[in-house]
Amino acid sequence: MELYYPIQSSWPLFPAPHFFSSSDSATPQNYVHWTETPESHRFSADLPGVRKEEIRVEVEDSRYMVIRTERRDDDGLGEPAQRERRGFVRKFRLPETVDIDGITAAYEDGVLTVTVPRLVSRRRLQLDLEDLADASHAVARAA
């Protein structure tokens, strides 16, 4: 007697993704890590195999920072229309308290680092808690 397993029988209809196919392996992971410090915002992107000339960092409308790459696979054998283009775009809304003119970017060892300084450095403020026991008695007496 043969048993029917609907999940296994339908599995070929939904093939697994090809994680290591040749077209995916040369494409960057498109992950940009955003960290904050009291002085700045820092964006780091791993872009292995991307040349410095293929990276653009732009600020749009003084509100959005755009990180863009465009790779052209050119082996010199094909026509321009047959060359494959690959890249990605990441767009971030910047806080209002940043210095747009002070933005810097560096690309070293396949890692792009963009630093966006704050206009005013954020400092940590610790408040002392007041003893509210006396105040609660005054409110209770007034009621």
Q: What is the pLDDT of residue 67?
A: 94
pLDDT band at 128 (very low <50, low <70, confident <90, very high): confident
How far is Cα 48 from Cα 92, in angstroms, rounded to an integer? 21
Three-class SS state of 3? coil
Q: Is the four-CA dihedral 119, 121, 124, 128 of positive or negative sign?
A: negative
Residue range 4-44, pLDDT digits in tens: 555 554 444 555 444 444 444 444 456 899 999 989 999 99
56: pLDDT strictly greater than 80: yes
pLDDT band at 72 (very low <50, low <70, confident <90, very high): low
CATH 2.60.40.790 fits 22-126, yes or no: yes
Residue range 74-98, pLDDT digits in tens: 555 555 555 555 678 999 999 988 9
How far is Cα 86 from Cα 26, in angstroms, rounded to an integer? 9
The domain limits of the chain are 22-126
Spatial CB neighbours of 54, under 8 Å, sequence gap ≥ 6: 69, 70, 71, 87
